Chains A and B, each alone.
Chain A
């Protein structure tokens, strides 16, 4: 099954579902999915790597930490990432880099302010040979 993501409806906010054969696939798709609701990913050049190293209690927690990192980069470092490169992945930790570039208001139109990643209905599951993650964001 080809890895991918889709946006889920929520009365006030937005959800994200990502899938793939491995947890790494799902995490990579989640990063892309999150960024795609904020900015058109095709306008972002993947020229800079920003290291990321995270620990967590379980895969769900790790996903929230990773996506929170993406938001932090955007808001505090004004760095927009559309890709996750993974060097090391365990369900409770990952090492790698977020790839993208510095925000350029002339080229990057931010259409949505995602405030935060929530734990509401958060899930990472494996069924058959498909890993799936579901996460809701606050906007």
Chain B
């Protein structure tokens, strides 16, 4: 190991983390050339491939490496929170028709194509301009862009670095939710922990919100697949030796490294555009069913990404490439990257819970800048394999249990539902409490589900 590893957890969570290969993976990442600070794992960490999910690691821009596996296959998988002007009492009576409408309007499920026909030329524009493309095409407004990480467009994207295969795979998938743990959830704010931050984010108890969780779909998966392959062979030319092939990496400044970062940015932009389109359809569904579609974007964060940022490492200001693999940026007040409306409190950090449990809004802190390259957790984190989760409960029983608790579900696949059964995940509240107590983000609000649509 070239740098230290640091894991954030409590006594229960560390036991779960110790059960799988997470610790070894944190150590493996610490052996990559040019890593600085610490190799980190958040309390929701679990075994991934190469990097642990819930991992954060930063590489020196001059001597460090970029790893496609350190970002993951679902490039810019992320979460977006919308706040309505509605009280839960206004939505509860129509929650079922609202979910039906959302389920009809937002293409979701395995192998589902989008409803937007697109040429390769148009797709290049999406890759270049991200959520801006969606706004230009009529999905949302200019004001939306202000409340998205990087304004919905990661700089440096170059569509020519994205393979024809990746484009072919993604062309029909723009404006689709996908499957697995991706969802659109209608929620109510149940508890406010920090009045000042909540007020800056425009959140009040009883307010209806919508959380959107999806990423760059097949396009991002193929970009990662392509560059993992490229990096396997390029790596030996640069004399890099690694302990796990999934950690394949190349120097940041190498042609392959630069090309990957341009393609990754393009895939990230696809994801921003994707969440923007789903936002638009969500607004339309609210307009149609509840009569008020004025949902405002609170924020949109990426939790699978590598970003060039300036941080202080051992007292020295330096440019680093921060790999966040299942981890969320959590910048404090005063950072130029966050919307001016939030400048006095810090960046909203969005933590989706597992199906049927709570989600949280947190706010970034100065301590995160000091300890974690301005990062914190990204969710509950899986605790059980999908096969084990599926064996636990039938889809019918799960739906019944959730309904008894006032949570309605529309899902494209029954097996998808049982795999995402909340018992398969760690306790999101415990995860959030750890980051809150550690001070790398502070709790602002808790959100409780009313209904969810899943792929």
Given A11-B47, A11-B382, the answer on whether A112 and B110 have CB atoms closer than 8 Å is: yes
A107 to chain B, nearest CB (A): 13
Chain B residues near A124 (CB-CB < 8 A): none
- B455 in the interface (beta carbon within 8 A): yes
Interface string of A110-130 (1 = CB under 8 A from B): 111101111111100000000
* Residues B455 and A120 in contact, CB atoms below 8 Å apart: no
Chain A residues, Cβ within 8 Å of B221: 71, 75, 115-116, 138
Closest to A65 in B: B229
Q: Which of A78, A112, A121 has the most CB of B within 10 A?
A: A112
Residue numbers in A under 8 Å from B20 (CB-CB) = 11
Q: Does A103 contact B (CB under 8 A)?
A: yes
Residues of A within 8 A of B367 (CB): none
Interface core residue of A12, A119, A121 (most chain B CB under 10 Å): A12
| A139 and B111 contact, CB distance less than 8 A | no
Within 8 Å of chain B (Cβ to Cβ): is A19?
A: no
Instruction: State whether B169 touches A76 (Cβ < 8 A).
Output: yes
Cα distance A38–B111 in the bound complex, in angstroms: 10
Q: Which of B165-197 contact A (CB under 8 A)?
A: 165, 168-169, 178-180
Question: What chain B residues lie within 8 Å of A105 (beta carbons)?
Answer: 111
The answer to whether B110 and A12 have CB atoms under 8 Å apart is no
CB proximity to A under 8 Å, residues B90-109: 109
CB distance from B432 to the nearest CB of A (A): 20
**Contact yes or no, A12 B46, CB < 8 A:** yes
Does more than half of chain B's interface fall in helix, strand or loop, or is it mixed? mixed
Taking a contact as CB atoms under 8 Å apart, the answer to whether A120 and B246 are in contact is yes
Q: Least Cβ distance of B385 to chain A in Å?
A: 4
Contacts of A138 in B (CB 8 A): 49, 72-73, 221
A105 and B110 CA atoms in complex are apart in Å by 11
Contact of B246 among A10, A14, A119 (CB under 8 A): A119
Q: Within A17-76, which residues are at the interface with B (CB < 8 Å)? A: 38, 57, 60-61, 64-65, 68, 71-72, 74-76
Contact with A along B231-268 (1 / 0, CB 8 A): 01100000000001110100000000000000000000
Do A76 and B168 form a contact, CB below 8 Å, given A13-B49, A118-B49? Answer: yes
Q: Is B48 an interface residue (CB 8 A)?
A: yes
Is B74 interfacial (CB 8 A cutoff)?
A: yes
Shortest CB distance A115–B (Å):
4
Q: Is A5 an interface residue (CB 8 A)?
A: no
Residues of A within 8 A of B48 (CB): 12, 120
Docked-complex contact B49 and A139, CB < 8 angstroms: no
Residue picked from B20, B69, B72, B110, most chain A C-beta under 10 Å: B110
B372 touches A (CB below 8 Å): no
Contact A75 B232 (CB under 8 A): no
A139 and chain B: residue at smallest CB distance: B180
Which chain B residues lie closer than 8 Å to A136 at the CB level? 49
- Complex contacts, B123 vs chain A, CB 8 Å: none
Give Cα A111 to B225, complex, Å.
Answer: 22
**Contact present for B218 and A11 (CB under 8 Å):** no
CA distance A3 to B231 in the complex (A): 32
Bound-state CA distance A14–B387 (Å) is 9
Give chain B interface residues in 383-420, CB to chain A under 8 Å.
383-388, 413, 415-416
Task: Pick from A9, A57, A78, A113: contact of B179, CB below 8 A.
Answer: A113
Quick one: closest B residue to A12, CB to CB? B382
Given contacts A7-B387, A103-B111, A138-B49, could you give 9 more A-B pairs where the C-beta distance is less than 8 Å?
A: A12-B53, A12-B385, A12-B386, A61-B229, A111-B416, A116-B224, A119-B69, A120-B244, A138-B73
Interface residues of A (CB under 8 A from B): 7, 9-14, 38, 57, 60-61, 64-65, 68, 71-72, 74-78, 103, 105, 109-113, 115-122, 136, 138-139
On B, residues with C-beta under 8 Å from A are: 20, 46-50, 53, 69, 72-74, 109-111, 165, 168-169, 178-180, 218, 221-222, 224-225, 228-229, 232-233, 244-246, 248, 382-388, 413, 415-416, 455
CB-defined A-B contacts under 8 Å, sample of 29 = A10-B47, A11-B384, A12-B385, A12-B386, A13-B386, A57-B232, A61-B229, A72-B169, A76-B168, A76-B218, A103-B111, A110-B111, A111-B413, A112-B110, A112-B179, A112-B415, A112-B416, A113-B179, A113-B180, A115-B221, A116-B73, A116-B224, A119-B244, A119-B246, A120-B246, A122-B246, A138-B72, A138-B221, A139-B386
A-B pairs, top 10 by smallest CB distance, nearest first, are A120-B49, A119-B245, A110-B110, A118-B49, A76-B168, A76-B169, A113-B179, A113-B110, A119-B246, A116-B73
